Amino acid sequence: MNKLARFRSLNAAQRLMIVFALGALGFTLAACSLSIAGHRVIGSEPAQQAPQAGPVSANVDADGVYDAYEAHAMLFEETDFPSAFTCQPCHEDHFREWSVSQHAYAQLSPVFNAMQATITKRTNGTNGDFCIRCHTQVGMNLGEPVHMSNMDRAQVSREGVTCITCHRVSGDFGTVSGRLAIHKGPLTDSVKGPTGGAGLEPVLADKMRNRVVTEPDEVGRKIHGEAEKFFAITTPEFCGSCHDVTLFNGFRLEEAFTEYKHSIAADAGHTCQDCHMGLEPGKPSGYREGHAAVVAGQPTRKRKLTNHYFAGPDHSVIHPLLFPFNADVYQRWTMRQMITFDWKA
């Protein structure tokens, strides 16, 4: 009797048992095959596999669209550490100058990011956040990973040395290679500046007319509830918090502040701000007077203004949609969408 005849001679229960046994055997063989394929067999070469396109981010799809979790997380980050885009409506002139500056470019610079990756590799990771904490103090205050794509960072983290990096620091930390504690809180919290609240007080005196609110849960145009005078922000030592970098072994990697302290400019009483934030870049030429803010269409009283362009030798080499910063562009498209635009065509 052949095998087929024998199978037909079995009753239904016996046939069903055989079918199940064969199915289980097939499943086991398939599982073994997959397991072996994932490991190198001694004496054989590993199989060459085509690279697989993984997800661009845990919370961003291939089109650069954020999911609900990512969108809400970004909202909370903006609440705790306001972006320069939040400051722009009232401080348009300061934003325009800063948006093209090397402070704004600090974290986006591919040269910096390449150097950061190289140093981390050569130190086996022991370098930690030593380099990046000057380039995105907010990102480090947020607890973002050192090696994280700028595309996945919070917007305020991408902004490098952004508004709150200087105006939400209330302590004179000295030469600490960028280890700064930034005040955490909504836009309505206090800010620090060189002149205090002389320009803000008249606005707060008539909130109804100026259509502003100073509490985070109030509805309306939110502004700072207080502007404190912070003398340190006018001194070269404040700049030295980042611009004097000493490595772990004592090697002085960057000593712009130390060089300044031993220069004829310091002997003459000129500050970093005089040359980098004055009327004429690179030359002590005084400061202009103007309105620090425009609130509800009304400019604040005139005072001494510093130039937030921060003149320096570097320049951008990245996609022009990514930098200079443009609020309309960043609020309309993700960075992944921006880089697909062929601006040279």
Indicate if the pLDDT at residue 103 is higher than 90.
yes
Within a domain: residue 22?
no
Q: What is the 3-state secondary structure (H, E, C) of the chain?
A: CCHHHHHHHCCHHHHHHHHHHHHHHHHHHHHHHHHHHCCCCCCCCCCCCCCCCCCCCCCECCCCCECHHHHHHHHHHHHHCCCHHHHCCCCHHHHHHHHCCHHHHCCCCHHHHHHHHHHHHHCCCCCCCCCHHHHCHHHHHHCCCCCCCHHHCCHHHHCCCCHHHHHCCCCCCCCCCCCCCCCCCCCCCCEEECCCCCCCHHHHHCHHHHCEECCCCCCCEECCCCEEECHHHHCHHHHHCCCCEECCCCCEEECHHHHHHCCHHHHCCCCHHHHHCCCECCECCCCEEEECCEECCEECCEEEECCCCCCCCCCCCCCCCCCCCCHHHHHHCCHHHHCCCCCCC
Within a domain: residue 16?
no
Within a domain: residue 219?
yes
Within a domain: residue 284?
yes
Indicate if the pLDDT at residue 35 is higher than 60.
no
Residue % of the chain over a pLDDT of 90:
57
Taking residues 83-112, report their average pLDDT: 96
Indicate if the pLDDT at residue 259 is higher than 50.
yes
Within a domain: residue 223?
yes
**pLDDT on residue 25:** 43
Within a domain: residue 344?
no
14 confidence band (pLDDT: 50, 70, 90): low
Indicate if the pLDDT at residue 105 is higher than 70.
yes
Within a domain: residue 60?
no
Within a domain: residue 128?
yes
Total count of domains within the chain? 1
Domain range holding 268? 73-338
pTM of the full structure = 0.76
